[in-house]
Chain A
């Protein structure tokens, strides 16, 4: 079946620290992979995506590389800011089917 496993949170970092949020997946077929971000009280915003193996998605300093050999799509940012505090969801979709979400990882960045 299709599923996404995300690292447990919450994660607390100091400003300018390096961020990694791990995400691994299982999928039937060839999934597209996504990272969404949810700020308090809001819906989900697409952060980045990758549609095939070895693709790198990037946006706002965040990056994630689609690793088929390790079935992973880890989210990274070199220097986090207080404004990056949010909940991050990893997700996959196969052949335009429904999305499968991870449980979300809460990130808090302190000045």
Chain B
């Protein structure tokens, strides 16, 4: 149980294009999902907290107009990197917190999406 999927697993795009990454909780509902960015050999950097039905909360220094987050349902959150540039190349990881039960204090992570912007 507690499986989170991400799609796509990797993507290569041209500079200036937009890329959408989906994060789904497959066997549980999540009112809260989180988006992280991870640079090579570094820890995870929280980008934003996504709450179902409301606007995402962005961490300081993260451009909300560049990284659009939509949390349309209790099992789906999307991150759109708009007008991507090479410096946006990174490993993006989402996580989801179960809505109910004893697992609520735990976040379950997706497998990550590797983005390469040429």
Contacts and interface: CB of A to CB of B under 8 A. Distances in A.
A44 B93 CA distance: 9
Contacts of B42: 103-104
B43 A98 contact: no
A42 to B, nearest CB: 6
A106 B114 CA distance: 20
Contacts of B25: none
A51 interface: yes
Interface residues of B, number: 22
A99 B97 CA distance: 11
A103 B43 contact: yes
B105 A93 contact: yes
A49 B102 CA distance: 12
B105 A43 contact: no
Contacts, number: 49
B106 A34 contact: yes
A43 B112 contact: yes
Interface in A30-80: 32, 34, 36, 41-46, 49, 51
A49 B43 contact: no
A46 B6 CA distance: 17
Contacts of A49: 105-106
Nearest to A89: B43
Given A98-B34, A98-B49, A99-B34, A43 B43 contact: no
Contacts of A102: 43
A32 B103 CA distance: 12
Contacts of B95: 44, 99
Interface string A12-46: 00000000000000000000101010000111111
Interface of B: 4, 6, 34, 41-44, 46, 49, 93, 95, 97, 104-112, 114
Interface of A: 32, 34, 36, 41-46, 49, 51, 89, 93, 96, 98-99, 101-104, 106
8 contacts: A43-B6, A43-B111, A44-B95, A89-B43, A98-B49, A101-B43, A103-B43, A104-B41
